[in-house]
């Protein structure tokens, strides 16, 4: 017979495995960003540890990071996997994925806060994001963390319409957008998280001098 702590551990492990399966389902639809959600979830957890969040918040960030793009399951294939830049109309369709993801996850009563984070992960510090245009501290902390990690992984990955950016250019972009796109206090940790992430790659990207 399992002890109370063993039951909690079992439920937690089962819970995370289900979350991982949901995130993996997206990989089958979006072949160009396969593994993206998992990397963002892991990177967001690492950043959460750097800033000293408690275990409950770290778990929230980790789960929301893994599920942040789950709404893309509802995006048509001709938009999701288009080999080239999106048209204005296609971009408007793509921008519905945070709300769709929140709607999906919100059906689980224990994931209400995760759903909120998913809905807000494309909001900007200056209020120019989507879907709601909220700003600053009104954006959930977990969403602000995921926003930085999502950008780092997206820029360091190849896409159908562009090759990956170099690490020093990514550093420049995060710093340059601190206080506009990103929470300036969190952006201060970008070099640290990028240094940690570079060490995970077998062949780090070449450096590019940014003037």
For 121-163, give the DSSP string: TT--TTS--SSS---GGGS-HHHHHHHHHHHHHHHTS-BTTBP
How far are the Cα atoms of 125, 173, 190, 201, 204 from residue 147, in angstroms, in the given order? Answer: 10, 13, 12, 21, 22
Diameter over CA atoms, the chain: 64
- Domain of 13, CATH number, reads 1.10.3210.10
List pLDDT tens digits, range 30-87.
666 668 888 999 999 999 999 999 999 999 999 999 999 999 989 998 998 888 888 9
User: How long is the chain?
Assistant: 211
In a domain, 208, yes or no: no
Counted domains in the chain? 1
The domain in which residue 34 lies consists of 4-198
List pLDDT tens digits, range 135-160.
999 999 999 999 999 999 989 877 76
Nearest Cα to Cα of residue 42 among 9, 64, 25: 64
In a domain, 207, yes or no: no
Query: With contact defined as beta carbons under 8 Å apart, do 104 and 80 qualify?
Result: no
**Percent of residues, the chain, with pLDDT higher than 70:** 79
In a domain, 211, yes or no: no
**148/123 Cα distance (integer angstroms):** 11
Confidence class for position 26, pLDDT limits 50, 70, 90: confident
At a CB cut-off of 8 Å and minimum separation 6, what does 173 contact? 151, 155, 165
pLDDT of residue 127: 98
pTM confidence score: 0.86
In a domain, 192, yes or no: yes
Q: Find the catalytic residue in 72, 95, 128, 188.
A: 72
List pLDDT tens digits, range 169-186.
999 999 999 999 999 999
For 48-77, give the DSSP string: HHHTT--HHHHHHHHHHHHHTTGGGGGS-H
Mean pLDDT over each residue of the chain, to the nearest integer: 85
In a domain, 210, yes or no: no
pLDDT of residue 80: 87
In a domain, 110, yes or no: yes
**118/147 Cα distance (integer angstroms):** 10
Residue 72 falls in the annotated catalytic set: yes
């Amino acid at each position: 017979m399992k002890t109370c702590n063993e039951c909690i551990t079992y439920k937690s492990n089962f819970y995370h495995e289900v979350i991982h399966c949901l995130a993996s389902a997206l990989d089958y639809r979006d072949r160009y960003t396969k593994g993206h959600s998992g990397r963002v979830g892991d990177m967001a957890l690492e950043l959460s540890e750097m800033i000293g969040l408690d275990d409950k918040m770290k778990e929230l960030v980790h789960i929301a990071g893994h599920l942040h793009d789950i709404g893309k399951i509802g995006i048509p294939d001709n938009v999701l996997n288009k080999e080239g830049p999106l048209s204005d109309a296609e971009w408007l369709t793509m921008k519905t994925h945070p709300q769709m993801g929140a709607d999906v996850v919100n059906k689980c009563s224990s994931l209400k806060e995760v759903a909120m984070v998913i809905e807000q992960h494309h909001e900007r510090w200056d209020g120019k994001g989507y879907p709601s245009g909220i700003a600053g501290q009104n954006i959930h902390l977990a969403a602000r963390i995921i926003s930085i990690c999502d950008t780092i992984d997206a820029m360091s990955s190849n896409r159908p319409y562009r090759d990956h950016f170099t690490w020093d250019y990514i550093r420049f972009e995060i710093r340059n957008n601190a206080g506009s796109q990103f929470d300036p206090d969190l952006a201060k940790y970008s070099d640290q998280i990028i240094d940690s992430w570079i060490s995970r790659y077998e062949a780090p990207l070449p450096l590019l001098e940014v003037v």
